[in-house]
């Protein structure tokens, strides 16, 4: 931990000066960001983070690198905020490759007038989420845009992780006979954001499912090192993930409607609005395609992990009709589950 004295930010709200590169910006960076993210790599205040390549190579056979931007509205919602969302979302993009998350960058675009107290809350939330995920925020950038030119706060995070030797998880590896597994109730995040906006005046209690998934994925790999495909079901939901898998692997898939876990509250929101929970965003749910012979072992490993206690097998991979995803309904018929067209919910992550 650094012993260098740090500046103090005394302003109550962000001004254009906090993005101008001078003293005000330095106060913001040293007080708000360094104060929360405190670590030797970041505290050096270089324009880049520097890594020991040999040390990373010793941990695995490949590096995984990902980036994502977060523009959720509202920035605070039940169960989380844009800060925890940014960290966990990027951690999960690494995790579904089988990677162990290591380092994170943080780029913030802040609208003039954002209360400093709200910014501090978001930054502290990021630190808490990063600590929980075992990832270090090592570099970043701050920009301020004039009032009315943004919407409070946008965050970009990029992540680096290490993929262990022998792990090959890819959307192109789905095979007939594989089983499809999700790690719990779907649609919670999309429904929580919709409810948090207050437009519907719903009385239901809904919270985001935002959580890191790398520990769960490692438990799954311990049970079955040859997992074929995993993806987190964020924008576009489970339906979009499965359509991407089916198209990339040139296979078809069939889901059992009565096996798909959806909370009654989320189901009620969908019924009111005429929407489908299979397209709702998630921030703590993954979809895995695993060899049929190992499906039960993977399922047991998932159910034994805190992030996968609600895991269930929801479908299977079939031959023929490449790119087609179908749902076996509760009434015995089938319906086609297409890729999402347009948008169901704006600004959900």
- What is the three-class DSSP state of 11? coil
What is the separation of C-alpha 112 from the centre of its chain, rounded to a whole number of angstroms? Answer: 27
- Count CA within 13 A, CB hemisphere, residue 59: 15
pLDDT in tens, 96-150: 999 999 999 999 999 999 999 999 999 999 999 999 999 999 999 999 999 999 9
Model pTM score: 0.94
Structure confidence at residue 1 (pLDDT): 42
Structure confidence at residue 160 (pLDDT): 97
Residues 56 and 147 in one domain: yes
330: domain CATH number? 3.90.650.10
Residues 69 and 48 in one domain: yes
Residues 153 and 21 in one domain: yes
Q: Which residues of the chain have pLDDT under 50?
A: 1-2
Residues 202 and 297 in one domain: yes
What is the separation of C-alpha 181 from the centre of its chain, rounded to a whole number of angstroms? Answer: 18
110: domain CATH number? 3.30.1330.10
Q: Does residue 246 belong to any structural domain of this protein?
A: yes
The answer to whether the CB of 192 falls within 8 A of the CB of 206 is yes
Domain boundary among 117, 134, 163: 163
Alpha helices, DSSP H, located in 58-161: 82-95, 116-133
Number of other CB atoms surrounding residue 262 within 10 Å: 19
Output the six-digit token pair for 114: 């954002």
Domain hosting 234: range is: 171-336
Residues 183 and 157 in one domain: no
Structure confidence at residue 16 (pLDDT): 97
Spatial separation of the C-alpha atoms in residues 283 and 92, rounded to whole Å = 8
Q: What are the helix and strand counts (H, E) for the chain?
A: 11, 13
Q: Does residue 132 belong to any structural domain of this protein?
A: yes
Output the six-digit token pair for 178: 């594989």
Domain boundary among 141, 163, 185: 163
């Amino acid at each position: 931990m650094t012993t260098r004295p740090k500046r103090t930010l005394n302003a109550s709200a962000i001004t254009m000066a906090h993005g101008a590169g001078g003293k005000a910006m330095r106060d913001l960076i040293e007080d708000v960001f360094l104060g929360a993210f405190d670590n030797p790599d970041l505290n050096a205040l270089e324009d880049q983070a520097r890594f020991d390549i040999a040390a990373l190579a010793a941990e695995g056979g490949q590096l995984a690198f990902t980036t994502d931007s977060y523009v959720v509205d509202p920035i605070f919602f039940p169960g989380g905020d844009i800060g925890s969302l940014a960290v966990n979302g990027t951690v999960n993009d690494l995790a579904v490759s089988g990677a162990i998350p290591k380092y994170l960058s943080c780029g913030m675009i802040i609208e003039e007038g954002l209360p400093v107290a709200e910014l501090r809350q978001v930054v502290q939330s990021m630190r808490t989420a990063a600590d929980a995920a075992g990832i270090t925020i090592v570099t970043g950038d701050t920009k301020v845009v004039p009032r009315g030119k943004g919407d409070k706060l946008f965050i970009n995070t990029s992540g680096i992780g290490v993929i262990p030797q022998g792990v090959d998880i890819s959307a192109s590896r789905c095979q007939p006979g594989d089983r499809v597994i999700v790690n719990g109730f779907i649609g919670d995040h999309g429904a929580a954001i919709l409810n948090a906006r207050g437009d519907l005046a719903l009385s239901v209690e809904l919270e985001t499912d935002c959580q890191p998934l790398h520990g769960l994925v490692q438990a799954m790999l311990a049970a079955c090192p040859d997992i074929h495909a995993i993806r987190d079901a964020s924008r576009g939901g489970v339906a979009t993930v499965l359509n991407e898998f089916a198209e990339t692997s040139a296979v078809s898939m069939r889901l059992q409607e009565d096996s798909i876990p959806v909370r009654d509250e989320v189901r009620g929101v969908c019924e009111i609005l005429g929407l489908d929970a299979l397209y709702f965003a998630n921030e703590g749910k993954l979809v895995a395609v695993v060899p049929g012979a190992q499906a039960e072992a993977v399922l047991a490993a998932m159910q034994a992990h805190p992030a996968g206690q609600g895991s269930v097998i929801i479908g299977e991979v079939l031959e023929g009709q490449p790119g087609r995803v179908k749902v076996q309904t509760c009434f015995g018929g089938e319906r086609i589950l297409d890729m999402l067209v347009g948008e169901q919910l704006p600004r959900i992550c």
